[in-house]
Amino acid sequence: MFLKFLRLEIKSFFRGTSVGVNLAMKILRFMGILYFVACLIGGAFAAFYLIQNKMHADPLKVVSKYLIILWAADLIFKYIWQEMPTQNIKPFLTLSVPKKTIINYMLIKTFLSPFSWLNSFFFITFSCIALYNGYGFLGTLSWFIGISLLFYLNNFINILFNDKEIIAIIIGSIFTITGLLSYYNFIPLLSWSESFFYSFYGKPYWVLLPVVLFSGLWWLCFKQVHKEFYLDQGLEVKKAVGKTENITFLNKYGALGTFINNDIKMLRRNKVTKNVLIGSFFFIFYGLLMFTSPVYKTPYMMMFMGLFVTGGFQFLFGQRVPAFDSSYYPLMMTLNVPYKEYLKAKWWLINIVTALSMVVAIFYAYFGWEMYVTFFAAGLYNIGVNSQFTLWSGAFNKTQIDLNSKEKRIGQKGSFNMKAMLLIIPKMLLPMAVFGASKYFFGMTGGVISIAILGLTGFLLREKIFDIIVRHYKVEKYSTLDAFKNKD
């Protein structure tokens, strides 16, 4: 039966209305997967021999020491991006196919996602290198199986808590608090991690623990999905009673205030937009990666970091305008909607959040005022220039967004557009080049002033730029409407 399901999915792929685009996206994804596979295999070699030759330590123990961090990161990434494959299963619920067969197929299909098996290339390569260097076969095999099963457990944890946002927030808070306690040496988390994961090698019988956990969580997931596996319950779109909210002081700004009011309501009410807000908050801490490698401390990369630290909301929300309004965009276009006011409302909302991010990012001054001033300059560029280019790129984004479901799909066919890709040049490469060159010739002050001038120039010319953006939105209007109406 599983092979029949796979054959049907292959036929569905080649019989779709967008076979060419689907195939192109599959090829791009395959190339990306090959790149990550090469990185993971190379990383395994580098990790083993650098630890052995440079640190003169046991590679298996050192890797085991940091596996707890990798495990937590794997769980977070799966929660954000991996979802249960339910849409292709619905038609079988009306046929005489055993429900348990369908559920088991769905659970197995989650392991076919690259998020599930990509890390195995690191562990397989690392284990083979360990065997080649004299590590015991039974212990190494036990270590590999135990760790692989623990990482696969994240699939089941993701299924159990996929729609339970409160539990996800609690778990995320526990991870954050535990990480801080470990960072400030209140608890020896890394030592515990080393003892636990290395025990699979030292005491191979410990592999029974992840085997039992894997079997138990499979059974729990099966029971939970089985309980709600009906067309009118588990797979039905959840409906909620609507609430009327209004931010009254915005009404005095006319159409502009009305649009901002509607966007704030959308951000507060829907799952996808709530995830955008959460993701924007975490973008503020993106600059902490500067301490993981000296490469990030170059002027070019400092500006790159600053653009993300202050522009997280801009990149996550702005470039998906009007995709966030896709459910009612066709209706809106039948009304007398002032296009320029509609876009300016998005622009003001983006820049307000960007300004708040610049204020919150002041904690980077603890690591040096030069870093914060660089991030501040990046924020000025985001407000004056990138905000408008981001809205411009949104004209070419024709991906429908369901605001009532978690958006966990990467590389959707409607979101890939060469024009939008070309707009990355003025958004990212231009400020990096200008800041790096100005800082090299005129120092930090010259670099900040040059970026500030670009940002101020874009701000002053915003009306002219908005006229250009509006023209592009109108050119793309009917193709956008067609994409939003087409539910296939």
CB 103 within 8 A of CB 229: yes
State the pLDDT at residue 426.
66
At residue 341, the pLDDT reads 84
> Tokens for 210?
């992840």
**Which residues in the chain land under pLDDT 50?**
17, 19-20, 234-237, 240-242, 407-418, 420
* C-beta of residue 22 within 8 angstroms of C-beta of residue 408: no
- Torsion angle, CA of 408/411/414/415, rounded to 10 degrees? 90
Q: Count how many residues are written for the chain.
A: 488
pLDDT of residue 418: 47
Question: What is residue 364's predicted lDDT score, i.e. its pLDDT?
Answer: 85
What is the gyration radius of the CA atoms in the chain, in angstroms?
25
Task: Encode pLDDT of 41-79 as tens digits.
Answer: 998 999 899 998 888 899 999 999 999 999 988 888 887
- List C-alpha distances in Å: 197 to 45, 158, 183: 20, 22, 20
Nearest to 317 by CA among 228, 216, 390: 390
- Given this model, what pLDDT does residue 410 score? 38
pLDDT attached to residue 234: 47
Q: Which residues contact 441 (CB under 8 A, 6 or more apart)?
A: none
245, 386, 385: which is closest to 314 by C-alpha?
A: 386
Q: Where are the domains of the chain?
A: 2-227, 248-485
Produce one character per residue of 207-236: b if its CB has 16 or more CB atoms within 10 Å, e if not: beebeeebeebbeebbeebeeebeeeeebe
Distance from C-alpha of 473 to C-alpha of 478, rounded to nearest angstrom: 9
The answer to whether 61 touches 196, Cβ cutoff 8 Å, is no
End-to-end CA gap in the chain: 26
What DSSP letter does each residue of 304-341 carry, written as one string?
Answer: HHHHHHHHHHHHHHGGGTTGGGTTTHHHHHTS---HHH
Residue type, 456: L
What is the three-state SS of 228-242? CCCCCCCCCCCCCCC
Among all chains, which residue has been given the structure tokens 């909607």? 337
**What residues contact 212, with CB distance under 8 A and at least 6 apart?**
none
Dig out the tokens for 208 from the structure.
């029974």
Quote the CA–CA distance of 149 and 54 in Å, as a whole number: 30
pLDDT of residue 292: 55
Q: pLDDT at position 332, please? A: 77
